Structure 1
Amino acid sequence: MPESGAQPRVWIVDAYRAGEQTQLRALAEGLGWPFEIKTLSYRKYEMRTTLLRGHDLRGVELATSDALAPPWPDLVLSMGMRNEPVCRWVREQSGGRTKLVFLGRLWSDPSHFDLVITTPQYRVPDRPNVLRNALPLHPVGPARLAEARALWAPHLTHLQGPFITVNIGGTSGPYAFGRRAADRLVRDAVALAKARGASLLVSSSARTPDCAIDAFAAQDAVPMALYRWRRGDGDNPYLGYLAMADEVIVTADSISMLSEAYATAKPVHMFDTGAGRLGMRHDMHLAAGETATARMQARQDSDRPDIGSGALAYRALMRWGWRHLTRDISQMHLRLVRSGRMGWLGDPPPTSDAIPPSDLQRAVARIRDLMGVDGARRR
């Protein structure tokens, strides 16, 4: 029997993308148990183990990776295709005792894991061990927002509230973000700010094209603070701008930014980086309650859309390729609109004083149930 009050030994077999790393850390911190992070290096051309649903370390460069050795963990949290066989190998070494919790997209069937925490864009099949959250996990909550507001409010005293925060992503999968999309975003953000008598707080990201930043920098119709993203910048005001927001505009290419904006409990407007038949809501106009004005503007903009060869190739892969290779974020948009969580920029935003439900709390509760109500370490 486990000792009373003992906690599980937790490993994060780390993801290899920054956004996925954020999700894993948010989940581990939400559990409140001590955890170790295992960072791995991967062989570039080893796909056999993953394709065949293996359980070995053939895809890992062991010499440059953190050691995977006993004592084996009670719980592994992970994300990313290359980590699937690694996690299965760890469970095998523990004699089947280690519980595997995997996030996001899967290459293999959910039956290979004890719990899968995912979102609609990844099209994971329904199973009893699949928890389908509305949005990705993140660490943004009331306490962090209050701290960020206290830090950044003194830097924004030269601007008059209310504040409309604009978070800009970039080209993603089938959705291109070019000059025309940037011009539309500035036009619509400025129009909303004028209607509210508001100032803009504009924040860019690693994927934001220069044309979008330049387009905002050129506008002088409303007061504005503008941040140009820089790698490793400790003074990035992204969270501060979110905390100060009375309303938020987010380019809908970034599900992570949408999730963090929703955590503010302020109205969130999704911006469609495409238009017309190439838009993010091409198949959901009726479901989203699109206005006549928005339909007319979409037709005008679709005459000269932003679309590149990479985005076109991704669209073809989504339509005719293997489902594992793509994600369909339009499914996320559809659910967000239908559930009343968010609206499209140009449509009336949802109005609610309710505290947003916590996907993180749902995930933590499922894991605690998986590990035992008291979270005691399994021996």
Structure 2
Amino acid sequence: MNYSEIHEKLKSITASSIFSRLFRWSRITLKIGELSNLIESLVINNSRISNELENLKHKLLDLETNFQTEKKINQKLETEIEIVKNKNELLNPLKLKNTELLTELNKLKQEELAKDAKRDSLMNKWEQFQTNAEQRERKKEEVEEQKRHEKQEQIKRQWLNHEENVNNLIKIICNEKGVEFIEKDKWPYKKQPDNIIKICDEYIVFDAKSPRNEELDNFPKYIRTQVDTLAKYAQHKDVKKQLFLVIPENALHVIQNKTYEDSNYCVHVISPQSLRITIWSLKQIEHYEFAEKLSPEDRENLARAFAGSMNYIKRVIQINSDMNEHGIELTERMLQLISKKSLNSIRNKALEYEKGDIVNASQQRGGKAIDLKEESTRQKDIKSKAINHEIISTPKSSSKKIDLNND
């Protein structure tokens, strides 16, 4: 209820007539009571409003205080924001630099990943290459071991059949040279050598000996023992005091001393390859009617020719063996040089050319003797060509030669 209502009620009370006041007082008192209630209500409301107003003032004061505080805070924040903005402006170049560094870092990471991948690929290739190399090496070792085994087996077979091979070879040479081969049943004495030939009514003994196993360390000692046992043949008057031990060619290199001399006899260690020239040299004695008619000079020349022939044959055999071994090594090296995949075409062409390449060595036919003068002329021609092409140097001094035409 507002003040206009109170004003209306007061106005209706004051405007009432005496008649109304006398007869209608109850109504007036009722209005006065309502008016009193209204005033009381107004007072209460006013008091309440005053209290609320006071509270609002306190709140307003608090709000003002808070506002000032917040304002200060806001100013401080604005100041800090301004500082941050300034710092942010200072950090912008660093941000750009950081971006550049991040880009560079990512680039380096990509390069590192690429390097890692390349390294892994190279490592895989290397491991594969190493594995292949090890496999090739193992295969090479296996092949070499197989070759060594086959060579040892071949040597063993050769040594096992040595006595029989020497016997057959001596028979063939005797048949070619017209030398008498003495069978064992015609040997007049009890103890029989392996092979006997007869020249100028003298028995010449050729004993075949071979290593007992593949180890050659004890073979020289064994040969020395066999030299001593040959004394049982040399004691007979009709047995030539020059005796021969025939050993395999591949065992000859371990025998340092090829000639053993005793007071009553002499033993020569030879290989099967020397049998032909040895028997030929012994056969030359038959060119004289009687051996005892040889003059001392002829005997000396014959001995020197025989010794020279023996040394020449042994050296040729030794040199050929060394050259063959070295030639095999050089051939293996050349094949290794062109064994790469990139050189397969060259290797294949080389193998094709090799099939058509022929080395035509001089051939020897039966029934025809080798002309020494012709061979000497051919050798001089080859030597002259070698000197002209500077393959060999001109010899400063000539070696001594044996006069083969000396009668």
So what's the TM-score if we normalise by structure 1?
0.24
Greater helix fraction, Structure 1 or Structure 2: 2
So what's the TM-score if we normalise by structure 2?
0.22
